[in-house]
Structure 1
Amino acid sequence: MKQIDVVSFPDKFGKQSERWRLLRYLVVVLFIASALLYAVYLVVDGERQQQLEIEKRRASEHLSSMRGQIEQRLQANMLALRALRPEILWQDSPDRVRLQHIIDEFLSSNLDIMHVALAPDLIVKFVYPVEGNQSMIGFNYRLDTDQYAGILRAVAVKDVVLTGPLRLTQGRDALIARMPIFRNDRSLWGVASLVIDHVHLLEGVRFYQHPNYSFAIRHAKNDLNPNPIPFAGNADVFNADALTADISFPRGRWELAAFPRDGQWVATNADFWLHWAIGIGLTAVILSAFLMLIFTQHRLRGAISTIAYQARYDGLTDLPNRNFFSEQLGADIRSALRNQQKFALLVLDLDHLREINDVLGHEVGDALLQRVAERIRTSIREDDLLARIGGDEFAIVLRDLNDPSEAEIRAKAIMNDLLHTLDIEHNHINMTASTGIAMFPHDGQEVQQLLKHAELAMYAAKAQGAMSVHFFDEQLRQSTERDINLHHQIIKGIEAEQFEVHYQPVIETETGLLTRCEALIRWTHPERGAISPAEFIPIAEKTGAIIGLGDFVLRQVVRDWKKMHEAGLDLAVALNRSPREFNDRQAATHWLNVIAAADVPTNRLMFEITESMLMRNKERQFANLRKLRDAGISLAIDDFGTGYSSLNYLRSYPIDVIKIDRSFLHNVPHQGQQKALVEVLIRIAHTLNMSVVAEGVEHEQQVEFLQQQKCHYQQGFFYGRAMPLNEFIRFTQQFNRDVLEGRSDTEKDVSGASR
């Protein structure tokens, strides 16, 4: 049987697992961030491609328009050339005047004709306009290789052929449209050439002045010229991602290209800053939400881990708590049953921890518990089990232990280790403890049964005194059963009205009159007869039945006070209140409501509390005391001097009366030390302006001594025992009558003597 680790929680594997979990979270975050940014890129790129498609579609429309205009103007110019053919063949020799007139009309129209040349038999004989073209007269095309090739091509196809731009003899570049002219007998007459100003043609269609696009034109590619050089426009247009279209004309084809003037169809991805900003913003939001989710999950996991830890471990000592210890004890029992092993369960209770908390403070008390846990842990074996099961209780399982005497030796060794001085915040503390032992399987084979028996043995050890060890035995079990049975009988007794309140006289020392009384509960059992309060009150305190008894006494006292008042008695009644009753925050309010409902003056009631309740210094108890005191109820410390008395408590709490315990009056005034103690207690009360009630007055010498010490009130068998209400009323009436008559006789004797 191995002990579950009670300190390193979570363990190193848990921490390593947490680190791997955080690393996985980081990888996931990076992956999500990359995926989101890539998605943003795809969105931006998609938007760019869409704009690119729209822009190219728009550019394609402009390109088509430009191509159509160029083709239309070329066609118009070549139609003018075709119109000359009938004029040339109308006569054997063309009429120069008529031709000039026709050509003038062409030149005056919106055409791009530079001049017209007629070459019968391929020798230029006619040029118009002549000015600037005189050098053309007599030019033999056969002698110019470039132009002759074009003429031969036109002759071969018997149609207009457009060539160029070519360098003219005049020194300019131009397009030349050549039309072969055949006679009716199909013999070649010659060639008519139309020189077209291509620059003017292109300017006419705003080829160079387009506001959005740059254009360029080159000859179509062929095997002889796979990379033709553009003859119009910027040559770089063809090197870019340009749109192209073919310009068709008779017996030829050009390639037209278009590209945006600003150098790009659309902005680059980086220029879509708004899209990037929105995308990155959304990415940041998503990542933030995811990180928040991870952080929340991490915190939730930590909270669950903390809750699980707190549910199983004591937060102060890091030891298993009662619930977890019960689980571990159950596992030990099952293992021991399988392996036929024995073990000892020890319940160790620290002595006077409450007083240490009250005097030195809870910080010191907490540090003390931590040091005690360390001491016990070092005192037991590694495979033994240690837990904190209560405020000042520790449970220890000594595994594989067959001999009960060995358990006792180990228990005493543990307690002896605690005796060594503990230095806590400059306080030297020697702790004592009491230990109860239950042996498995002899004293129980179930978790709760074994734990209960060990605790009963601990209570028995505590009753024997500090540093005691007690084994569970049958006598303890029977005693417990008696206590439980008595508790049930107390509850039934309250319901069956078996309890009654008796009243013991309290005498005012100065006047000798019976002015007060103490209410004391009595129980007449139908089978056992009268049961002493010393027997049932401790059980009621332990089980909580004292609350029901206290409520019964209060209600009975207020009813009895009314009867006393009706009988002519105006007495103050003292009631004992249990510290357990003050744990209820509404206790004072409840009691005051009961008193008010009975219409009893609060100044005629006094609640007696014990010193031990003041030692606890709980806020709710002080609040209840203050509420009672403010309402007019007097407060008294019962059995003063028997506990851990401190003047600080008397000054801090609203106390009106001190009741000196009967044990102090034993052998007074014969025993000098006892007498001195009583004198000191009375003197303290006088100094603090408090009233004093001396309990246990049993003979006349004690009465005289208390009179000398000016003790305010006396109570004891010398004056009378506790008695039922009606008997007490008669006793009080007779007692006070005797006192007053005795006082009257004394006054008469004094008066007679004076005369």
Structure 2
Amino acid sequence: MKLEPIDMAALLDIHDILMTWNTDESSVLQKLCDKLLASLHAPLIWGGLINQDHKLTVFGAAGNEADRIKGLVLDCSDTLANHPAIKDCIDTLTPASLPGGLIELNSRLFENLSPDVRTLQTDLYPLTLENRCMGVLAVATGNRQNSKHHSLLQLAAQHAGFALGMLRNFVAKEHAQSSLKLAAAVFDHSLEGIFITDTTGSILAANDAASRITGYKPEELIGQNPRIFKSGRHGQDFYQALWHSVHRHKQWEGEIWNKRKNGEIFPEWLSISAILDEHTQLQNYICIFIDISKQKEAEARLNYLAYHDKLTGLPNRDLFHDRLNASILRAKRNQTDIAVLFIDIDHFKYINDTFGHAKGDLLLQKVANKLKSCLRENDTLARMGGDEFTVILEDFAFQTDVEITAGRILKAFSQPVYLDNSELYVSVSIGISFFPEDANNPSMLMKHADTAMYSAKNNGRKCLHFFHSTMENYSIQRIEMERQLRHALDNHEFRLFYQPQFNLETGAIDGAEALIRWQHPQKGLIAPDEFIPMAEDTGMIVPIGEWVLKQAWAECQNWHRAGHALRVGVNLSAHQFNHAQLTDLASMVLSDTIIDASFLELELTESLVMRQAEDTLTALNALKKSGIRLAIDDFGTGYSSLSYLKQFPIDRLKIDRSFVGDLANNPNDAAIVVAIIAMAHCMGLEVIAEGVETEEQLKFLRMHDCNQVQGYLTGKPLPANEFLALLSAKPEPAIGEVHRS
């Protein structure tokens, strides 16, 4: 291939350009195009490279409108299909010519070029390396004849293909070396344990994490077989399945228990992969693992929390039901009996309201410990929620054995429970049902034990009851009564009765206590003792209490309209007092009234007032600010701190009927009553005695300057219309003239 001297000089320059160190393919092509343009004075020269997707990207361009063609991407697949000359150029590595120019390619990519440039004859020279086409060098010759510099361009294209190929090989080698360095860094610094074995399983390499996790030094691991980590927790079938997966699928991943050098068994997440060579032959195994002890501990903790009561640590409702199901299955299989005990703390709500929830929680923990001390290790004790505990008893010979266990529980609660520095006596009620005698499925067994427990509560508490079929009617009746109670307010079935309160100095009625009754459609008049506890349990006490307050105040205004300036006393339960809207309710009731707020007296129990005394003082001051009178009901039956009592804005103390009942015969009761009266007067408080039923009681109270009395001796509770009639009678009845009817 003979070259003209000028072409030879140009080729030497091109050789220097191509052999000069470059790391950028586009820079090489651009320098080549610039040199050829300067030597040949062609209108346009450009060069592009073909990637694996058969797309040719123009990386270098020089001449007319070079900026417009540089960067264009031509899809060779479409071009080859429509132009055989280009296909031959790429496939046979021989030059090709487009006499009509780029317009022959029918590509919209070249539409932005001027017509003069698009129609110039273009000669294409393949950039070759190892018998394959890497790209194309294109020269627009400016005439319709072959370029006289054909040999120069052909050699330049060959030199350029070689140079670009060398550049690619170098870059690939550099990349491979960088990848190896990166892989080595990852291997050395990975937090995951990694070791590589040969095809026989001998460890060839291990990283620091593998040493840290297993406890073996790296040099101790080299040459060893991973069998040294076997914990003994997995059988041979486990390892057979593992290696079957590796051989068949070239990998296995899962949880495995292994052993550290010090003998500690630990869980790890392990991945084993088979590494194949270029001939798909097994070359190595790579094992990657992490210690999942912390995750396992967290899972165990979460599982524990899901099935155990947070406060007492006992099994919760879900775990209890699981164990009860398992116990029943065992009992069916072995033809044995099991017993379910339903245990409820008596008056827990009263304790919680009196001492606060923190002390209530402490009591539940103490109760749980007492119950555990009465049971065997294989017995299941659970907390169902609130103050309810359940027990599963198995492996007993006779039902009397169950009764002995329950009796042991009752006896344990005859001893006091200590809450910080407070000594507290609590009792429990126990209901018992047996499988299969009372029920053959868990839900019915639990239901019957619960029914028996309520039977124990209704028979004095602090005892145990075995379930029998007659109790089912009671349980059904209780559920029905609760349903009816929820509708009683809407159906206007509640009634208020008023028990007169007499002033011992004037002998006249100066107030009345409002007492609720339930006018049941079928059962007639029901006393509050039968439904108030249920109302408190269900939360109905709040709307019922609101109705009582509104109704009593409305009736008090009726008395005033009739010319009787009396006050009315209304009892507040703990639920009402704790209700956030109590102060707003009182303000609403007192709004738009014709009489002074001091004619309304709210009665709170001593225990309720003393619970969380600081918060109570704030609430009482808010009520007192509205003008309402405040009285402590059942005084003497609870615990009082005189330092707090003197701070409370109380107007009156009500001596509990338990001290008045045996006043004439019991010196201790008499001394307590005298002390209460004296203390109250010293504090500027009035005193009223409840439950006065005899002349002797009345005489004693008058003698010791008690201010007021109420009871069946002076007047029984009356409906609103009868009480108003009593007030309107002429002359007004004096003490001693109104007797028990």
Structure 2 length normalisation: TM-score? 0.54
| Pairing partner for 2:400 from 399, 405, 410 | 405
1:727 aligns with 2:715: no
Unaligned stretches of 5+ in structure 2? 1-18, 28-173, 175-180, 193-289
The 1:556/1:699 distance shift into structure 2, 3 A limit, reads same
Matched, 1:602 2:593: no
Q: Are 2:653 and 1:658 aligned? A: yes
- What are the equivalent positions in structure 2 for 1:295-444 lying under 5 Å apart? 309-337=304-332, 339-350=334-345, 369-370=364-365, 373-374=368-369, 376-377=371-372, 379-401=374-396, 403-416=398-411, 433-444=428-439
Q: CA deviation at 1:618?
A: 8.4
Contact 2:355–2:611 (8 Å) recurs in 1: no
Measured in 2, the distance between the counterparts of 1:366 and 1:401 equals 33
Q: Which residue of 2 aligns with 1:503?
A: 498
- Cα distance, 1:408 vs structure 2: 0.9
Q: Equivalent residues in 2 for 1:162-561 (5 A)?
A: 309-337=304-332, 339-350=334-345, 369-370=364-365, 373-374=368-369, 376-377=371-372, 379-401=374-396, 403-416=398-411, 433-461=428-456, 468-561=463-556
Q: 1:553 to 1:340 in 2, by over 3 A?
A: same
SS of 1:474 mapped into structure 2: coil
> In structure 1, the residue corresponding to 2:497 is in which secondary structure?
strand
Provide the residue aligned with 2:142 in structure 1: none
Query: What is the one-letter code of the residue matched to 2:689?
Result: A
TM-aligned CA deviation for residue 407 of structure 1: 0.7
Distance, in Å, in 1 between the alignment partners of 2:296 and 2:359 is 33
The one of 660, 679, 684 equivalent to 1:684 is 679
CA shift at 1:397, angstroms?
A: 0.7
Does 2:696 match 1:697?
no
Higher relative contact order (CA 8 A, sep 6+): 1
Correspondence list, 1:734-749, <5 A:
734=729, 737=732
Cα distance, 1:622–1:405 mapped onto 2, change above 3 Å: farther
Percent identity, aligned pairs only, is: 38
Q: What are the Cα deviations for residues 602-637 of structure 1, in whole angstroms up to 9, with x where unaligned?
A: 321111222343465388766544432332222222
CA separation of 1:303 and 1:554: change in aligned 2, threshold 3 A: farther
Query: Using a 3 Å threshold, how does the CA distance of structure 1 residues 336 and 572 change in structure 2: closer, same or farther?
Result: same
> Are the counterparts in 2 of residues 434 and 465 from structure 1 also a CA contact under 8 Å?
no
Cα deviation, 1:29-85, whole Å, max 9, x if unaligned, reads xxxxxxxxxxxxxxxxxxxxx996469999xxxxxxxxxxxxxxxxxxxxxxxxxxx
Separation of aligned partners in 2, 1:368 and 1:526: 41
Q: Is the 8 A contact 2:354 2:608 kept in 1?
A: no
* AA of the residue aligned to 2:627: G
Distance change (3 Å), C-alpha of 1:474 and 1:316: same
**1:698 to 1:300, Cα distance in 2 relative to 1, 3 A:** same
Counterpart AA for 2:546: D
Take 1:51 and 1:413, find their aligned partners in 2: how far apart are those partners? Answer: 100
Cα deviation 1:350-404 (Å, max 9, x = unaligned): 5687788899997777566546545544543333212122344432111244632
For residue 386 of structure 1, give the secondary structure of its aligned residue in structure 2. Answer: strand
Task: Considering fraction of residues, name the structure with more helix.
Answer: 1
Q: Which amino acid aligns with 1:559?
A: A
Distance 1:656 1:366, change over 3 A: same
Contact 2:508 2:733 in 1 (8 A): no
Counterparts of 1:464 and 1:51, CA distance in 2: 108
Computing the radius of gyration from Cα coordinates, the structure with the larger value is: 1
Which amino acid is the alignment partner of residue 446 of structure 2? Answer: L
State how far apart, in whole Å, the 2-side matches of 1:55 and 1:546 are: 86
Amino acid at match of 2:439: G
SS at match of 1:389: strand
Separation in 2, partners of 1:423, 1:726: 51
Which of 565, 582, 606 is residue 560 of structure 2 equivalent to?
Answer: 565
1:527 partner letter: Q
SS at structure 2 position matched to 1:394: strand
Conserved? CA contact 1:436–1:472, under 8 Å: yes
Tell me, in whole angstroms, the C-alpha distance in 1 between the residues paired with 2:440 and 2:523.
Answer: 35
Alignment deviations for residues 511-547 of structure 1 (CA, whole Å, 9 cap, x no partner)? 2232211112233334333333333333333443333
Once residues 415 and 552 of structure 2 are traced to their aligned partners in structure 1, the CA distance between those partners, rounded to angstroms, is: 52
Q: What CA RMSD, in Å, does the superposition of the two structures yield over aligned residues?
A: 4.9
Compare 342-351 and 611-620 and name the one that shifted more.
611-620
Conserved 8 A contact 1:658-1:692 = yes
SS of 1:408 mapped into structure 2: helix
* Residues 355 and 615, structure 1, Cα contact 8 Å, conserved in 2: no
Amino acid at match of 1:588: T
Q: Give the whole-Å Cα distance in 2 for the aligned partners of 1:523 and 1:735.
A: 31
The CA distance in 2 between the partners of 1:424 and 1:679, in whole Å, is 32
- One-letter amino acid of the counterpart of residue 520, structure 2: H
> Can you give the 5+ residue segments of structure 1 that lack an aligned partner in the other structure?
1-49, 59-268, 270-275, 288-294, 743-755
Q: Do 1:585 and 1:624's aligned partners in 2 also have CA atoms closer than 8 Å? A: no
Kept in 1, the 8 Å contact 2:415–2:425? The answer is yes
Shift of 1:416: 4.6
Distance in 2, Cα, partners of 1:554 & 1:421: 39
User: What residue number does 1:707 align with?
Assistant: 702
Q: Could you tell me whether the CA contact under 8 Å between 2:344 and 2:430 is conserved in 1?
A: yes
Q: 1:545 is aligned with what amino acid? A: M
User: CA shift at 1:692, angstroms?
Assistant: 1.1
Instruction: Give the letter aligned to residue 412 of structure 1.
Output: G
Q: How has the CA–CA distance of structure 1 residues 542 and 670 changed in structure 2, closer, same or farther, with 3 Å as cutoff?
A: same
Secondary structure of the corresponding residue to residue 439 of structure 1: strand
Q: Deviations over 1:151-172 (max 9, x none)?
A: xxxxxxxxxxxxxxxxxxxxxx
Contact 2:613 2:644 in 1 (8 A): no
Q: What is the number of equivalent residue pairs in this alignment?
A: 475
Residues 423/347 of structure 1: CA separation in 2 closer, same or farther (3 Å cut)? same
- Compute the displacement of 1:432 (Å): 5.4
Q: Name the amino acid aligned to 1:310.
A: L
Residue aligned with 1:569, SS: coil
Deviates further, 459-468 or 688-697: 459-468
Distance 2:638 2:365 in 1: 27
Report the counterpart of residue 627 of structure 2 in structure 1.
632
Equivalent residue letter for 2:403: E
Deviations 1:291-317 (A, max 9, x none): xxxx9x999998887665434312232
Output one character per residue of 1:535-566: Cα deviation in whole Å (capped at 9) or x when no partner: 33333334433333322222212221222221
1:613 aligned to which of 601, 605, 608: 608
Cα deviation code 1:275-295 (max 9, x no counterpart): x9xxx9xxx9x99xxxxxxx9
The alignment partner of 1:655 has SS state of: coil
Listed one character per residue, the Cα deviations across residues 181-228 of structure 1 (whole Å, up to 9, x for unaligned) are: xxxxxxxxxxxxxxxxxxxxxxxxxxxxxxxxxxxxxxxxxxxxxxxx
- Measured in 2, the distance between the counterparts of 1:711 and 1:623 equals 29
Query: Residue 388 and residue 520 in structure 1: after superposition, are their counterparts in 2 closer, same or farther (change >3 A)?
Result: same
1:440-467 Cα distance to aligned partner (Å, 9 max, x none): 2333344444334323433444566686
Q: Which moved more, 1:428-437 or 1:403-412?
A: 428-437
- Note the alpha carbon deviations across 1:486-523, whole angstroms, 9 max, x for none: 33333333222232222221122222232211112233
Instruction: Write the distance in 2 (CA, Å) between the matches of 1:369 and 1:523.
Output: 34
- Maintained 8 Å contact 1:350/1:434: yes
Change (3 A) 1:303 1:351: same
User: Would the alpha carbon gap of residues 300 and 723 (structure 1) be closer, same or farther in structure 2, given more than 3 Å must change?
Assistant: farther
1:718 is aligned to 2:733: no
Structure 2 CA distance for partners of 1:583 and 1:307, relative to 1, 3 Å: farther
